[in-house]
Amino acid sequence: MGLIYASIDIGSNAIRLLFEQVYETKKGPIFKKLSLVRLPVRLGEDAFVKDYISTKKAQKVLHIAHSFKHLCEVFEVDAYLATATSAMRDAKNGGKIIQQIKDETDIDVRIIPGEEEASILYESIFNTGKIDSNKSYVFIDVGGGSTEINLFENGVREKWKSFNLGTVRLKEGIQNPDEWGRMEKWIKKNIKSENPDFAVGTGGNINKIYKLCGLGDWKILTRDVLDAKIKELATFSQKELIEKFELKSDRADVIVEGGEIYLRAMKAAKVKEMIVPKVGLSDGLIRRMYLEGR
Report whether 151 contacts 122 (CB < 8 A).
no
Other beta carbons within 10 angstroms of residue 9's beta carbon come to 25
- Helices assigned H by DSSP within 127-222: 167-171, 178-190, 204-212
> Taking a C-beta distance cutoff of 8 angstroms, is the pair 226, 209 a contact?
yes
Distance CA 46, CA 53 (A): 5
Residue-by-residue pLDDT tens, the chain, 294 positions: 789 999 999 999 999 999 999 998 888 888 999 999 999 999 999 999 999 999 999 999 999 999 999 999 999 999 999 999 999 999 999 999 999 999 999 999 999 998 898 888 888 887 777 888 889 999 999 999 999 999 998 878 899 999 999 999 999 999 999 999 999 999 999 998 777 899 999 999 999 999 999 999 899 999 999 999 999 999 999 999 999 999 999 999 999 999 999 999 999 999 999 999 988 899 999 999 998 875
In this structure, how many other beta carbons lie within 10 angstroms of the beta carbon of residue 285?
A: 25
Q: What is the pLDDT of residue 294?
A: 54
Pairing between β-strand 156-163 and β-strand 273-275 as defined by DSSP bridges: unpaired
Residues ≥6 apart with Cβ < 8 Å to 97? 53, 58, 61, 62, 88, 91
Counts of helices then strands in the chain (DSSP H, E): 13, 11
SS3 assignment, position 108: coil
**Residues whose CB is less than 8 angstroms from the CB of residue 96 and which lie 6 or more positions away in sequence, other chains included:** none
Q: Which residues pair with 8 in a beta bridge?
A: 17, 82
**Torsional class of 148: left (φ above 0), alpha (ψ -120 to 50), beta (otherwise):** beta
Phi/psi for 76 (5° steps) reads 55, 55
Mean of all residue pLDDT scores within the chain: 94
180-201 burial, b at 16+ Cβ within 10 Å, e below that, comes to: beebbebbeeebebeebbbbbb
The residues near 98 (Cβ < 8 Å, ≥ 6 apart) are: 84, 88, 109, 111
Question: How many CB atoms neighbour CB 127 within 10 A?
Answer: 19
Q: Which helix (H) or strand (E) covers residue 229, if one does?
A: helix 223-233
β-partners of residue 84 are: 10, 111
**CA max distance for the chain:** 52
What is the model's pTM? 0.89
Torsion from C-alpha of 185, 186, 190, 192, nearest 10 degrees: -50
Pairing state between β 15-23 and 198-202 = unpaired
Beta partners for 82? 8, 109
pLDDT tens, position by position, 254-280: 999 999 999 999 999 999 999 999 888
Q: Give the pLDDT confidence of 64-104 residue by residue, as tens digits.
A: 999 999 999 999 999 999 999 999 999 999 999 999 999 99
Where do the domains of the chain lie, and which CATH numbers do they carry?
3-113 (3.30.420.40), 129-278 (3.30.420.150)
Separation of alpha carbons 287 and 6, rounded Å: 10
